[in-house]
Structure 1
Amino acid sequence: MAEKMEFLPKTELLSLEELDRIASIFISLGVEKIRITGGEPLVRKNIDSLFSSLSKKTQLKELTLTTNASQLKKKASMLKESGVKRINVSLDSLNPTTFKKMTRIGVLENVLEGIEHAISVGFEKIKLNTVLMRGINDHEQFDLINYAIEHDLDISFIEEMPLGETDFERKITAISNKDVLEKIKGKYSISKISMTTGGPSNYWQIDGTKTRIGLISPHSHNFCEDCNRVRISCKGELFLCLGQEEKIELLPLLRDHPDNDQPIKEAIIASMKIKPISHDFDLKQSRPAVVRFMSHTGG
C-alpha cells in the first residue's frame, strides 16, 4: 500500500450484493474458481454473508482466500463452513520487529495465532506467501521454510513486483527466485513436481515432508503465457493483467442495469479481446511499471 492511504467513500465501492452479482455473472460465463483477496478481505463488515452466498453456487468448483491471517482466529470456522478448502496467508517475517516494519501496523502474534487456529479447523491446504527483500527479510528464508515444514504448510516465494511508488529502490531490494532456489537446493533435498493450482507457481516437494515450495517469478521466469486470470477491484474495475493498466469499468453497468445482467456479460466478453499478452516488469526502470499499488487489485 501507499505510505499514506486515502480510503474511498462507501458509495464508490462495490457492495457485498454487487460483489455477489459479479461473481454470479462470471460463473454463468464458465468461471469455476474465485479467490477473495484484498487488502484484507476479512475486515469487510458482514463479509460472512458473501462467503455464505458464494458457497451455494453449485457451478463454482473452488472458492479460495488470500489473507494476512489477522482475522483468522475469528473467521476460520466460517470459512470452512462456506466451502473454502485452501487459503493463502501473506507472511514475510517471523521477527515481530521486522514484521511490524514491513506491514506498518501488523502484530505478528495475532497472525501466528490465526494460522494455528486455521490449522486446527482443518483446511485441505494452507500456503504461506512470502516476498523476500534484500537487506530487510532475506535472512529469514530458511526460518520461514522451517516454520512451514514444522506446521505442514506449503510456502511460495514471490519476486517483488514493480507496482506503485515507494521510498526504496526495488532494483536494490528485489531478489531473483533463481537465487532463492539455489539456496534451497543447498540446504534441502527437493524434487520438482508437476502440481498445478491454476496459478503461476512452479512447485518443488521438500523430500520427507508434507511441505511444497512454490516459486512465483514474474521477472526471472515470465508466466504470462499460462495466465487465465482477471481481477475485480473493490471499485468494480475489471483488470485484465496485474502488470498493465487495461481495465473495464463494471460498477456503472451494474448500477445502470440493476435487473439485466446482459450488458455486464457483453462487457466482460468484449474485454477478453484486450487482455494483454504480457506485463512489462523491468526493475531497471526508474519508475514502477504500474503506478497502481498491489493493494488496489489484490494479491
Structure 2
Amino acid sequence: MLIDRFGRSVTYVRLSVTDRCDFRCVYCMSEKMTFLPRAQILTLEEIAFIARAFSELGVYKIRLTGGEPLVRENVIWLFREIGQLPQLREMVLTTNGSQLERMATGLRAAGVRRINISLDSLDPERFRQITRVGDLNKVLRGIAAAQAAGFEKIKLNSVILKNRNHDEVCDLVNFAIDRGMDISFIEEMPLGIINEHDRAEAYYSSDEIKHDLEQRYTLIATTETTGGPSRYYRVTGTNSRVGFISPHSHNFCASCNRVRVTTEGRLLLCLGQEHSVDLRRVVRGYPRDLDRLKRTIAEAMAIKPKGHEFNLKEQPVILRHMSVTGG
C-alpha cells in the first residue's frame, strides 16, 4: 500500500490520457492553448504500464481524464487493458460528453463503471461561448447514450462562476434530478494564466451555491462518499445528491487519497503544488522494468505535500492548465 509522509494512504490515481480537447471548458479559458508534441505524450501502452504499477502498489481506483480522453485514437484499447487489472476495484472516466454518443456502449463493455460528465450550462448559446465551439445538443445526446449503456453511476460536474453561469445552478440540479443523476458543483481552481475573467471577481463559493439551492430544495447532509473530495447532500424527495468540491472554502487536503499522472508522465503529488516525479523518464529509460517503476512511485510518496495554498487574489503559481494536469 502507498502511504505518504503524513500517514495518508493513496488509493486513487487520475491518469491524463491526452492534453487535447474537442472544445474547452471553464478551466481552460485562455485565449490560446498550446498542445504538447506527440513525442512528449505517454503512449497508450505506457499509460497502461503505469496503471499496472499503481494497481500492484494497492491503488484500487483509476480515473482516466484529459483534456478530453475520448478523442485519443484507439483509447478503448486502453480502457480494456486497465479494466483487466485483477487488483482494480473501479475504473472511471471524466469526459465532456461530446464523444459518448458513439462510444458509450464500448466504454461500458470495456469495464468503465462510472462516468463524470462536465456540464457548465444548459443554454446552447452560453454553452458555445464558454466552450468556444461546443455543441450542447451533442453533449445531451451523449448523456442519453450513457444512460442507455447502463453505467452504474453518471454524475455531472459544473464549475460555477459569478455572472457567467451562477444563475443556472437550480436548472442544472433539475436536469440531474429528472435523469436520476448526481451533480457536483466545483469552485474554480487557479491553474494556468487566463485572460477571460478575473478569478477573484468571478469566484462563487460552494456556500453561495448551497444557499441558492436551499431556496428551492431541501438538502440533507450525508456522510456518503465516492472516495473523492465532494461533500454530498441528499435532495429530499429525489434519488439525486448534490456535491460540493470546495478547494477554497472547505479545504479537503487532510483526507487526500489521490495523486495524478499528467499526459507527459509527471506524477503530481498535489493538484495545487509542483511537487512531481518524472515517470516517463523511468518508463522509457528502463522499458518493462515494473519493479523499478513501482519503487519510483513508492519513493515519491515522501515528497507528497500536506496540501495546496490557492490564493485567488494573486497570480497563479501553477502555470499548467487543467488540460495537461488531468481533470
- Scaled to the shorter chain, the TM-score interval is over 0.9
Find the aligned partners of 1:47 and 1:253 in 2 and give their Cα distance.
23
Offset of 1:190 from its aligned partner? 1.7
Find the aligned partners of 1:291 and 1:58 in 2 and give their Cα distance.
37
Q: Kindly report the root-mean-square deviation, in angstroms, between the aligned alpha carbons of the 2 structures.
A: 0.9
Q: 2:191 aligns with which of 147, 163, 168?
A: 163
Q: Any residues of structure 2 matched to 1:64-75 within 5 Å, and which? A: 64-75=92-103
Contact 1:34 1:62 in 2 (8 A): yes
Find the aligned partners of 2:129 and 2:88 in 1 and give their Cα distance.
38
Partner of 1:124 in structure 2?
152
Please say if 1:62 is aligned against 2:90: yes
Offset of 1:219 from its aligned partner? 0.5
Find the aligned partners of 2:109 and 2:288 in 1 and give their Cα distance.
30
Partner of 1:180 in structure 2?
209
Q: 1:279 aligns with which of 308, 312, 319?
A: 308
Offset of 1:150 from its aligned partner? 0.8
Find the aligned partners of 1:246 and 1:281 in 2 and give their Cα distance.
15
Partner of 2:266 in structure 1?
237
Find the aligned partners of 1:253 and 1:94 in 2 and give their Cα distance.
44
Partner of 1:293 in structure 2?
321
Partner of 1:201 in structure 2?
230
Please say if 1:212 is aligned against 2:241: yes
Percentage of identical aligned residues: 49
Offset of 1:124 from its aligned partner? 1.2
Please say if 1:256 is aligned against 2:256: no
Find the aligned partners of 1:292 and 1:11 in 2 and give their Cα distance.
18
Partner of 1:22 in structure 2?
50
Offset of 1:193 from its aligned partner? 1.1
Please say if 1:148 is aligned against 2:148: no
Which amino acid counterpart does residue 53 of structure 1 have in structure 2?
Answer: E
Offset of 1:158 from its aligned partner? 0.3
Find the aligned partners of 1:134 and 1:183 in 2 and give their Cα distance.
12
Contact 1:164 1:291 in 2 (8 A): yes
Q: 2:219 aligns with which of 176, 190, 197?
A: 190
Query: Which structure carries more relative contact order (alpha carbon 8 Å, separation 6+)?
Result: 2
Partner of 1:103 in structure 2?
131
Offset of 1:66 from its aligned partner? 0.2
How many equivalent pairs are there? Answer: 298
User: Secondary structure of 2:320's match?
Assistant: coil
Please say if 1:48 is aligned against 2:48: no
Please say if 1:227 is aligned against 2:256: yes
Once the two structures are superposed, what CA deviation does each residue of 1:61-90 show, in whole Å capped at 9, x if it has no partner? 000000000000111001111121110000
Q: Any residues of structure 2 matched to 1:70-89 within 5 Å, and which? A: 70-89=98-117
Please say if 1:6 is aligned against 2:6: no
Offset of 1:186 from its aligned partner? 1.9
Find the aligned partners of 2:96 and 2:102 in 1 and give their Cα distance.
13
User: Secondary structure of 1:230's match?
Assistant: strand
Offset of 1:104 from its aligned partner? 1.4
Find the aligned partners of 1:81 and 1:208 in 2 and give their Cα distance.
33
Offset of 1:263 from its aligned partner? 2.0
Contact 1:246 1:275 in 2 (8 A): yes
Find the aligned partners of 1:119 and 1:212 in 2 and give their Cα distance.
17
> 4+ residue runs of structure 1 moved beyond 6 angstroms?
none
Find the aligned partners of 2:163 and 2:46 in 1 and give their Cα distance.
42
Once the two structures are superposed, what CA deviation does each residue of 1:7-49 show, in whole Å capped at 9, x if it has no partner? 2221111000000000001111111000000110000000010
Which amino acid counterpart does residue 265 of structure 1 have in structure 2?
Answer: K
User: Secondary structure of 1:195's match?
Assistant: coil
User: Secondary structure of 1:127's match?
Assistant: strand
Offset of 1:102 from its aligned partner? 1.0
Offset of 1:55 from its aligned partner? 1.5
List runs of 5+ in structure 1 lacking aligned partners: none
User: Which stretch shifts more, 234-243 or 187-196?
Assistant: 187-196
Offset of 1:267 from its aligned partner? 1.3
User: Secondary structure of 2:258's match?
Assistant: coil
